[in-house]
Amino acid sequence: VRHRQTSTYKDIQRLTGLSLATISKHFNGGGVLPKNRAAIEGAAVDLGYRPNPFARSLRRGDSQTVGVLLPSLQSAFIFSVIVEVERCLRAQGIGILVASSGGTDRTSSSPALDLLLSRRVDGIIAVPSPADVPALSEASRAGIPVVSLDWWHPDLATDSVTLDNFDAGRLAARHLIDHGHRNVAAVVDDLVSSMRERLDGFAAGVATAGIDLDPTNIARVRLSVADAYDATRALLARVDRPTAFFTTNYDVTLGAVIAINESGLRLGRDISLLGFDATDLALATRPTLTIIVQPVEELATETARLMTDHLNDPGSRHDPVVRRLPGRLVPGGSIGDAYR
Amino acid sequence: VRHRQTSTYKDIQRLTGLSLATISKHFNGGGVLPKNRAAIEGAAVDLGYRPNPFARSLRRGDSQTVGVLLPSLQSAFIFSVIVEVERCLRAQGIGILVASSGGTDRTSSSPALDLLLSRRVDGIIAVPSPADVPALSEASRAGIPVVSLDWWHPDLATDSVTLDNFDAGRLAARHLIDHGHRNVAAVVDDLVSSMRERLDGFAAGVATAGIDLDPTNIARVRLSVADAYDATRALLARVDRPTAFFTTNYDVTLGAVIAINESGLRLGRDISLLGFDATDLALATRPTLTIIVQPVEELATETARLMTDHLNDPGSRHDPVVRRLPGRLVPGGSIGDAYR
DNA sequence: CTGTTAGCGCCTTCAT
DNA sequence: ATGAAGGCGCTAACAG
């Protein structure tokens, strides 16, 4: 689309008789005589003037845009965070260009990230799927501010904002322990570090009660409802069936719920489940689910803040900032008491 | 962020000895001698050349970017569509700038849309909340291609891609009727036309069975789980309690499920529910939910196609194209038979 | 097919 | 505080 002719400084110049430099100064710095200020503003309104962002970016070398890179498998949760991030950034005049990386294999360049880079985004907010890590590292090394969100990867030395996953896992463990559970199981997505940390925290929490988490009670799956369903079924079929399950993310929680429902066991009575992220799901099951939820708002504002800090202070190459925000346990009815 | 120096045509010129025009031609049209083509490509690779999108946009007057305007209240459903739209557009080198309009009141300018317009997006894909309609109309009138997605508004004469809402409602009605239900209720969000159409279709479907939809069995709410919950509770409390419910979107379905669960009535036995959009929810309830689902993929590809059609054929102002895609009923266990 | 040239609209020295 | 001038990198005439 060739753009409908919009007015430019020249038009304002024609109406005001001022020079382009003065007009530019008005729209940027300020320092203009009140009389001229009024004249420019008046003309701008009359003309419906909008600055041309391309000319501006060409000249100044920035885009006022940050790229958002999402993994191939999205959850409603991450979108709620992104929407909030967008609001924060928009308040600063920054737009977000969103691209979701297909499930590309760990290649050195993902088409999604490529689009963002070719658009010269000023920074990148990424939920870094392992496949994107090499390319993201490279971008970061090239000097583009990168903030990891939600997920996290050991090879990616960027700022990051995530849940305090270890603590969340421990929280879950304690809750189950407090309810008398000893034979507990975990269904874990182990594609990304975040999930593994949740498991580690869970194991640690269980350990403080003097219990060793039975390795055969740990099912590792890959971001998939179906896998989680299968894994849960298998665990439910064990002779020494666990009395409680911990599931470390939305998909896995859903898979587990389906398997449990199908098994005929009653949640919160015959079997306990402590889920993750599944805010809506938690309300629809019967009984409701006890889950761990993430602080969406805080994750978003922290992410936005880290990014704007970078944008406002270009070239500063400090050590990665790591923010770990606490999760919260929302009680439902899916945890029964297990005494023995 | 002032951008790390990237190479330009001049650098390629230095390495190849060719003129800027030839280089430009190579990167656009083609028509260059094989020898020169190779030289340019080689130099580009050596230099890690990336075209500067700002210079290009400034010169050509387009942005290769479409804006995506989302309403304040999002569902996982709409995101899955947007992700797919992004993939389609990215394949054509087009990026998406996303902004979500706060729940602003029906003012003439929404900050979110404003951001998109100030960025000179080539087109706008919008889930038009009523509050955005005036501003969207204006943009459309100004010549910016607008495609409405999912939602739809009578005052907005743009292309639109939505579910065939009327038909979906009728589908729901028939299903309930086929199962013997006569005393049916609907909980409807009536903020947007799409939902009202679903109700109209439902009423029509019920009518073909010779049944008048009891007006007092229709609850109108405003995009809110809590309202839907209250409304459902109220309906459940009626002396002449409906035997089946139709809920017209995700939030309303969730609210109804919660209310039903709480009532102690058993889904699919004591009470039937036909939900909407709640794909995940449908699997987590017990029994599973019978729902109407939307063709996510097709909605996305149609939306992308309509948009690219506009972009490839600027200035053509045909009549709005209206695409209505059929919904599909996914059977679950929440519909019981009601004979009387 | 290739080269020369003239901007696109804005920002930024550098003078005044 | 204002003005004049140059150029960011690219494309689109127009010549050759």
Query: What local confidence, expressed as pLDDT, does residue B1 receive?
Result: 42
Query: What local confidence, expressed as pLDDT, does residue A251 receive?
Result: 94
CB contact under 8 A, B314 and A99: no
Angle at A259 between CA A256 and CA A263, to 5 degrees: 135
Q: If you ran DSSP here, which 8-state letter would residue B271 be given?
A: B
Instruction: Tell me how many residue pairs between chain A and chain B have CB atoms under 8 A apart.
Output: 170
Cα B320 to the center of its chain, rounded Å = 17
- Angle between the A133-141 and A111-118 helix axes, to the nearest 10 degrees? 20
Chain A residues with CB inside 8 Å of B76's CB? Answer: 75-76, 79
Q: Does position A254 have pLDDT exceeding 80, yes or no?
A: yes
A38 versus A74: which is more confidently predicted?
Answer: A38
Q: Does position A106 have pLDDT exceeding 80, yes or no?
A: no
Taking only the tens place, the pLDDT of each residue in A126-181 is 999 999 999 999 999 999 999 999 999 999 999 999 999 999 999 999 999 999 99
The two structure tokens encoding residue A214: 């039975």
Query: What local confidence, expressed as pLDDT, does residue A99 receive?
Result: 97
Question: How far is the alpha carbon of A260 from chain B, nearest alpha carbon, in Å?
Answer: 10
Q: Does position B191 have pLDDT exceeding 90, yes or no?
A: no
Q: Residue A284 CB closer than 7 angstroms to strand C? A: no
DSSP SS3 for B297: helix
CB contact under 8 A, A74 and B95: no
pTM of the model: 0.95
Taking only the tens place, the pLDDT of each residue in B131-188 is 999 999 999 999 999 999 999 999 999 999 999 999 999 999 999 999 999 999 999 9
Q: If you ran DSSP here, which 8-state letter would residue A216 be given?
A: G
Q: Which B residues in the span 82-121 are in contact with A, Cβ-Cβ below 8 Å?
A: 82-83, 86-87, 90, 93, 95-100, 102, 111-112, 115-120
Taking only the tens place, the pLDDT of each residue in B232-256 is 999 999 999 999 999 999 999 999 9
* Distance in Å, residue A54 CA to nucleotide C8 C1': 9
Q: If you ran DSSP here, which 8-state letter would residue B150 be given?
A: S
Q: Mean per-residue pLDDT for B320-332?
A: 97
Q: Report the nearest residue to nucleotide C6, CA vs C1'.
A: B59
Per-residue confidence band for A108, with pLDDT thresholds at 50, 70 and 90: low
Question: How far is the alpha carbon of A290 from chain B, nearest alpha carbon, in Å?
Answer: 14
Q: Report the nearest residue to nucleotide D11, CA vs C1'.
A: B59
DSSP SS3 for A242: coil
- Angle between the A250-263 and A225-236 helix axes, to the nearest 10 degrees? 40
Per-residue confidence band for B5, with pLDDT thresholds at 50, 70 and 90: low
Query: What local confidence, expressed as pLDDT, does residue A103 receive?
Result: 67
Nearest-Cα residue of chain A relative to residue B64: A1
* Distance in Å, residue A59 CA to nucleotide D8 C1': 5
Alpha-carbon distance B164 to B197, whole Å? Answer: 9
Per-residue confidence band for A292, with pLDDT thresholds at 50, 70 and 90: very high
User: Phi, psi at residue B162, to the nearest 5°?
Assistant: -140, 175
Which amino acid, one-letter code, is at A202?
F
Q: Mean per-residue pLDDT for B270-298?
A: 97
CB contact under 8 A, A62 and B261: no
Contact A117, B48 (CB under 8 A): no
Nearest-CB residue to B4 (from A1, A79, A143): A143
CB contact under 8 A, B51 and A4: no
Taking only the tens place, the pLDDT of each residue in A294-324 is 999 999 999 999 999 999 987 777 889 999 9
* Residue A19 CA: distances (Å) to CA of A38, A41, A103, B251: 15, 14, 53, 56
**Nucleotides on strand C lying under 7 Å from protein C-beta:** 1-14
A296 touches chain B (CB under 8 A): no
Query: What local confidence, expressed as pLDDT, does residue A2 receive?
Result: 47
Give the up-direction half-sphere exposure of residue A235: CA atoms within 13 A in the CB hemisphere. Answer: 34
Q: Residue A20 CB closer than 7 angstroms to strand C? A: yes
User: Phi, psi at residue B68, to the nearest 5°?
Assistant: -120, 120
Contact B253, B225 (CB under 8 A): no
SS (H, E, C) A33-55: CHHHHHHHHHHHHHHCCCCCHHH
Chain A residues with CB inside 8 Å of B71's CB? Answer: none
Q: Does position A110 have pLDDT exceeding 50, yes or no?
A: yes
Taking only the tens place, the pLDDT of each residue in B88-134 is 999 999 999 999 997 666 666 799 999 999 999 999 999 999 999 99
A264 touches chain B (CB under 8 A): no
Which value, in Å, is the radius of gyration of the alpha carbons in chain A? Answer: 26
- Give the H/E segment covering residue B75: none
A42 touches chain B (CB under 8 A): no
Nearest-Cα residue of chain B relative to residue A92: B115
Q: Report the nearest residue to nucleotide C7, CA vs C1'.
A: B59
**Nucleotides on strand D lying under 7 Å from protein C-beta:** 1-14
What percent of chain A is predicted at pLDDT more than 90?
86
Query: What local confidence, expressed as pLDDT, does residue A316 receive?
Result: 77
Angle at B270 between CA B264 and CA B274, to 5 degrees: 100
SS (H, E, C) B154-194: CCCCCEEEEECHHHHHHHHHHHHHHCCCCCEEEEEECCCHH
Report the range out of A3-7, A264-268, B13-17 with the highest average pLDDT: A264-268
The mean pLDDT of chain A is: 93
Contact A312, A155 (CB under 8 A): no
* Distance in Å, residue B207 CA to nucleotide C9 C1': 62
Q: Mean per-residue pLDDT for B280-309?
A: 97
Smallest Cα–Cα separation from A76: which of B2, B139, B78, B93?
B78
CB contact under 8 A, A54 and B55: yes
Q: Which nucleotide is nearest to A21 (CA to C1')?
A: D3
Query: What local confidence, expressed as pLDDT, does residue B2 receive?
Result: 47
For chain B, give the longest Cα–Cα distance: 89
- The full DSSP string for A259-328 is HHHHHTPPBTTTBEEEEES-HHHHHHSSSPPEEEE--HHHHHHHHHHHHHHHHHSTT---PPPEEEEPPE
Question: How far is the alpha carbon of B97 from chain A, nearest alpha carbon, in Å?
Answer: 4
Alpha-carbon distance A106 to A116, whole Å? Answer: 18
